[in-house]
Structure 1
Amino acid sequence: MNTITRKQLLDQLNWRYATKQFDPTRKISTEDWNTLEEALVLSPSSVGLQPWSFLVIDDPELRARLQPASYGQSQIVDASHLVVFTTKFDLSEADVDAHVANVAKVRGVSVEDLTGLKGMAMGIVTGRSETERRDWAFNQTYIALGNLLTSAALLGIDACPMEGFSREEYDKILGLTEQGLASAAVVTLGYRSAEDKYATAPKVRFGRKEIVRHL
């Protein structure tokens, strides 16, 4: 199995930052973008339920409509790619059945063999209120967001995770509610502008001794 070195990993994580200004003339190659989409698909989730949908906004006019709902932030229109992370806001037993059926198909086992998995997944759906299910789904979506940011950094692609947008307006513009979805976060990806002063700013983090504890 091919692996990157420890130094390569830390170098890329130190290199990445929340890009404030993208170079609108530079686009992510089709090959790299396909890799990032596959990375999204491979994102982990609790019990494997994957309570999400990732919307890649390719239409420039649609991105222009989303910019005012993003408090005018330039990344929305300047970045090579824009991804809206959405969650299924009210998971149902049907979602669990679909997941279990897919696991059975992919792994070549019967649905009956997956009784334990189904029971755990049903506990999430039937053992929580609608608000609790929604919060759970939102939290799961952030796992995928982190996975995308790290994957992009390893490919030398800049990204900016964004919560500075009106979820209500995004849901309306994209027609998400009718699809049983709710916007959770936005990520813009591309290549940093030479004029972005934050690109060379020192990375600010608390030290490892301050935030990592061994018990």
Structure 2
Amino acid sequence: MSTIEHLKWRYATKKFDTLKTLSQEQLNTLKEAFNLTALSYGLQTLKLVVVKDKIIREQLVPHAYGQRQVADASHLLVICIQDEINDADVDYHFDTVKKVRHTPDDILDPFREGLKSTIQKMTNEKKVEWATRQAYIVLGNLMTVCAIEHIDGCPMEGFIAQKIDNVLELQKYGLTSVLLFPVGYRADDDMFASMKKVRKPLSETIIEL
């Protein structure tokens, strides 16, 4: 299949096959894809929580407005942002750059201090907004990788974050959930799987200058 054919195959799965489970290799691919996503400044101020436990996921269904995909999929991916973004994140990033690339401090330090200054000037609300946008970049990347790997998924914004966070005890990790992404295999009787995609023609969505 071509890239476009893979993307046409993908859809927001409404009903998962509860008897099928992703392999460890598939899960590893999604974890690596999450970790390799291009993010602002190269900082990785997001975490991916992978929930396999069915009992836990059943507890989450009411807080996702009854959407069964949360429990019926093979796994639930929860994309989270850090509650705090500060100098320590910047130092960790640049220390890692130095370790991996052996870049000298006299080159790194101006960028290190410049980024610290940028983040220090942000309000907490601005940091949350910034980190949340990064979460959507991650989701888009994961959706594309799922399409290529023929893994079904359903991106979700519709849930009560505080309730989800409480069940998963995300507070102890300093995290807040932003997006849910159940992944697995579509059910044979999911009527939405065979429906044609409805999109505007390219002439209405693309502007070439």
TM-score (norm 1): 0.92
Deviations 1:31-77 (A, max 9, x none): 12211211111111011011100000122211111111111111111
In structure 1, which of residues 24, 35, 42 is the aligned counterpart of residue 36 of structure 2? Answer: 42
Match of 1:96 among 85, 90, 93: 90
Superposed displacement of residue 206, structure 1: 1.6
SS at match of 1:182: strand
- What is the aligned partner in structure 2 of residue 24 from structure 1? 18
Amino acid paired to 2:198: V
For residue 193 of structure 1, the aligned residue among 170, 181, 187 is 187
1:110 CA displacement: 3.0
Match of 2:197 in 1: 203
What is the CA–CA distance in structure 1 between the aligned matches of 2:12 and 2:80, rounded to whole Å? 20
**Is 1:162 equivalent to 2:188 in the alignment?**
no
CA distance in 1 between partners of 2:131 and 2:118 (Å): 10
CA distance in structure 2 between the aligned counterparts of 1:112 and 1:181, rounded to whole angstroms: 34
SS in 2 for 1:67: helix
Match of 1:61 in 2: 55
Q: How does 1:72-151 map to 2 (within 5 A)?
A: 72-151=66-145
Note if contact 1:21-1:196 (Cα within 8 Å) is conserved in structure 2: yes
Partner of 2:6: 12
- The alpha-carbon deviation at position 119 of structure 1 amounts to 3.9
1:5-32 CA deviation, whole Å, 9 max, x = no partner? xx61000001100000000111111112
CA RMSD, Structure 1 to Structure 2 (Å): 1.4
State whether residues 76 and 180 of structure 2, in contact with CA within 8 Å, keep that contact through their aligned partners in structure 1.
yes
Following superposition, the deviation at residue 152 of structure 1 comes to 0.8
Distance 1:124 1:11, change over 3 A: farther
Unaligned runs of 5+ in 1: 1-6
DSSP-derived class of the 1:161 partner:
coil
- Normalising by the residue count of structure 2, what TM-score does the alignment of the two structures yield? 0.95
Equivalent AA in structure 1 for residue 96 of structure 2: N
May I ask how many residue pairs the two structures share in their alignment? Answer: 209
Q: Is the 8 A contact 1:160 1:189 kept in 2?
A: yes
Of all paired residues, the percent bearing the same amino acid is 39
State the alpha-carbon separation in 2 of the partners of residues 166 and 35 from structure 1: 28
CA contact (8 A) 2:18 2:72 kept: yes
Classify the secondary structure of the residue corresponding to 1:131. helix
Q: Verify the 8 A CA contact 2:52 2:74 in the aligned structure 1.
A: no
Report Cα offsets for 1:133-174 as digits up to 9, x if no partner: 110000011111111110011011111101111001012122
Q: Which runs of 5+ in 2 are unaligned?
A: none
Q: Is the 8 A contact 1:100 1:111 kept in 2?
A: no
Please state how far the C-alpha of 1:115 moved relative to its aligned partner.
2.5
